[in-house]
Structure 1
C-alpha cells in the first residue's frame, strides 16, 4: 500500500547491533492548494511506522497497531502532541524566506528530529535538521548547543537562531520527551518484526519468447538476500543480469535476476537453476529453469492484469497525500543529509548524548 514511501526510505534502512533509531519528520506546505498544511511521519529503522495530519491518521505496521490497541490513550496523546507542534514549527521557521524574494508562507519546510538509542548501554544520541524547498538549511550541533547553516542561504538568520536559546531548549525537549520515549516503545513492540527471517515466493517470468527469463523473488525479510543463476550446480555470470532490491507494501522485499535463455538449447534448460539465499538461513530456494513453470504475458492473463491494475490504482489513490509528503522528504534528505548518527565526526556534524 505504501510501496513508493517504502522505496524512498529504503536507503535509510537498518541500524546494526543493539542500536535503534527513530525519525520524526515534520513538514509544512503552506500555500499548496488541496493539500494539508502540515504532516508528520514516524520512521523507525527506515520503515514508515505512522503518518498523520489534520485529516489523515495512518498506522503502517501491525506491531504498532498492537501497541495502539493496548494503549489507545497514550497513542492519542502522542498524535495530538505532534499535530499541536504545527503552530510552533511555523513560528520558528517564519524567517526561512529572508534569503529569497518569496512572500512569506510560500516555501516548503522540512524538519528531521532523530534519536538513537543503544539498548545495551542505554546511550542516546540525537540531531535536528531543517530543510527549505528541498535543500539542506540549518542543523543543530547538540554537543555545542549551536545551530549552523548547511546552506549559504541560511547564513543571514543563523546569528538570530543562536542568540535565541529557546530554539535549542525546544529541540532538546522534543528529543528527550518525545522522540526517545516513542523510540523505546517502538523497540519493545517492533523488535521481533525487525529480527524475523522470511523466505520468499519465487516465480519465473518472461514477457515474450525472445525476452530474458526473469527469476523473481518476493516477500522475503530482511533485505540481506542474494540471487543468482547456476548451471550444473556452479554459479554463472555470462548472460545474467541482476535487478535492484525493492521494497513491498508490507515491509518485505523483492528482487530479480535475469537469464538470456534464448541462447540456451531447450534440451539444456534442465541444467539451469535460479537460487535465492537469505542471510542467516541455511535452506536455499531453488527453482529449475522449466518452460512449463514460466509465467508470460499472454492473452489469457489480460483480464487478470486489468483487474490487478485497477486495484493498484484504487489503492494508490488512497495514499496520494502520504506519497507526496515522502517525495518531498526524500528531496530534502538526498541533498547531503547524513541519516546515520556518527559518534565521532567533524564539528559540523557532531552528535552528543541527550
Structure 2
C-alpha cells in the first residue's frame, strides 16, 4: 500500500501544470530507492524531456542506456556524456543509499518495505527564455523535504527532515544547486530539445475508446497514442462540460514515447446526450466521441460476442457434418438403385476444378 501511495504521489508530482504551450520544455529526473520490493531494483533513475523518457539506469542491470535514438546526438556536443553520466548514476546510487539509510534511522525504521524518491528538474520557455527548477524528496509516499529555488532554502515537511534541512543549508551546498539549476540543467535541456526537435515537435492524434466493465460501472473514455503530452480530456452533457461525477486520471507515458489518459464518468442516467472531448496542444479542432451504447466496449458485450462466436464455431462444423451425412446417404441410396456411377460423375463435374 505504501509503495502504491508513493508512486502515485510522484506520478502527480511529475505531471507539470497543464499548459497548452508548445514553447515550454522540461528536463526532469525521477530517482527511486527502495527496500525489500520483489523484482524491483534497489535504485532506479529515469530522465525525461517534455515527459518523454530519454535515459534509464537501474541497479539490477547496471546499464545506463538511451530510450530514444536521437539522445545519442548529445555526444556531438559532449563526447564523454555517456561515460560521465553513467559514473554520476553509479556515484549517486551510493549517495541515495546513504540518504535512504539516514531517513530510515530518523523514522526509527530498520526493516520492511520502504521507498525514497527524488524528483529533480528544470524548465525552459524558448520564447521568453525564462528558466525554473525543482527538487523534491519523499519518503514512503509523503513529502519529506524540498528546495525552494526562489529563496534558495530548504522546506522541511516532517520534523525528521529538520536535521537534513540545517545540514543542506550550508552555503557550498546551496551554491552547488544554484549553479546546477540556473546553468547546467538548462544547458542540457536546450541541447536535448535541439537534438530531438523533430520528435518533440511532432503531433500525433490519439485513439479514443469508450469502455465499461459492467452495466452499473462508470463509463471510461480512454485516449492513447497521442503526442505532445499537453492535452485535456473531459466529458460534456448536452453541450456543457461536466465536473460532478467525473474522475480524470494522470497522463501517463506509453513505451513508444506517446501518452495516454482516461476520464471516468459516473452518472445515474446514461441515456442523456453525453460526449467525450479531447483537446491536444497545437490542434485547433476538438476530437469528440458521443456516448453510443452500440460502440461502448464492455465485459458483458465482449462475453456476449465470444458466446456468439463460439456458437458460430460449433454451428458451422455441425452444418458441414449434416451436409456430409446427407451426401453419404444419397450415395448409398443411389448405389443400391444402381445409379452410383452416374452420381459420382455428377459430383466430379460440380466439385473437381478443371485443370
| TM band (smaller chain) | 0.5 to 0.7
Of structures 1 and 2, the larger Rg is shown by 2
The gaps in structure 1 that reach 5 residues or longer are 265-271, 305-354
* Aligned match for 1:8, one of 11, 21, 25: 11
CA–CA distance in structure 1, aligned partners of residues 210 and 81 of structure 2 = 47
CA 1:187/1:105 → structure 2, altered by over 3 Å: closer, same or farther?
Answer: farther
Q: Structure 1 residues 170, 216: closer, same or farther in 2, change over 3 A?
A: closer
Structure 2 stretches lacking a partner, 5+ long: 1-6, 310-355
Residue 38 of structure 1: how far off its partner (Å): 1.9
1:278 aligns with 2:282: no
SS at structure 1 position matched to 2:106: coil
Name the structure 2 match of 1:100: 107
| Per-residue deviation, 1:22 | 1.9
1:66 and 2:87 matched? no
Q: Which residue of 1 aligns with 2:85?
A: 78
Alpha-carbon contact 2:144-2:156 (below 8 Å) kept: yes
| 1:256–1:178 CA distance, 2 compared to 1 (3 A) | same
The answer to whether the 8 A contact 1:15-1:45 is kept is: no
Which position in structure 1 is the counterpart of 2:173?
167
Tell me, what secondary structure is at the counterpart of 2:25? Answer: strand
| CA distances 1:61-100 after superposition (whole Å, capped 9, x unpaired) | 6xx3222277496345333322332233445666434533
Q: Contact conserved, 1:228 with 1:275, CA < 8 A, in 2?
A: yes
Is 1:26–2:34 an aligned residue pair? no
Contact kept in structure 2, 1:59 and 1:65, CA below 8 Å:
no
Q: Which deviates more from structure 2 when the two are superposed, residues 277-286 or residues 206-215?
A: 206-215
Instruction: Measure the CA separation in 2 of the matches of 1:138 and 1:273.
Output: 43
1:132–1:290: structure 2 CA closer, same or farther, 3 Å change rule?
closer
Counterparts in 2 of 1:225 and 1:196: CA distance versus 1, 3 Å = farther
1:333-352 aligned at under 5 Å gives the runs none
Q: For structure 1, which segment, 41-50 or 285-294, has the greater mean C-alpha deviation from structure 2 after superposition?
A: 285-294
Check 1:31–1:173 CA distance in 2 against 1; reply closer, same or farther (3 A cut): farther
Q: 1:281 to 1:175 in 2, by over 3 A?
A: closer
The equivalent position to 1:37 in structure 2, one of 32, 42, 45, is: 42
Q: Does 1:179 align with 2:182?
A: no
Pairing of 1:235-274 with structure 2 (within 5 A): 235=239, 244=248, 247=252, 249=254, 250=256, 251-255=258-262, 274=275
2:211 is the alignment partner of 1:198: no
Does the residue aligned with 1:160 lie in a helix, a strand or coil?
helix
Matched, 1:224 2:228: no
Q: Secondary structure at the match of 2:191?
A: helix
Give the Cα–Cα distance (whole angstroms) in 1 for the partners of residues 241 and 11 of structure 2.
30
1:129/1:139 contact within 8 Å kept: yes
SS at match of 2:225: strand
- TM-score (norm. length: structure 2): 0.58
SS in 2 for 1:85: helix
2:351 equivalent in structure 1: none
User: Within 2, Cα distance between the matches of 1:135 and 1:253?
Assistant: 26
Please report the RMSD computed on the Cα atoms of aligned residues, expressed in angstroms. Answer: 4.7
Q: Is the 8 A contact 1:113 1:175 kept in 2?
A: no
What is the distance in 1 between the residues matched to 2:290 and 2:149? 55
Q: 1:243 to 1:73 in 2, by over 3 A?
A: same
Once residues 210 and 27 of structure 1 are traced to their aligned partners in structure 2, the CA distance between those partners, rounded to angstroms, is 38
TM-fit CA distance, 1:197: 3.7
How far apart, CA to CA, are the structure 2 residues paired with 1:32 and 1:114? 26
User: Normalized against structure 1, the TM-score is what?
Assistant: 0.58
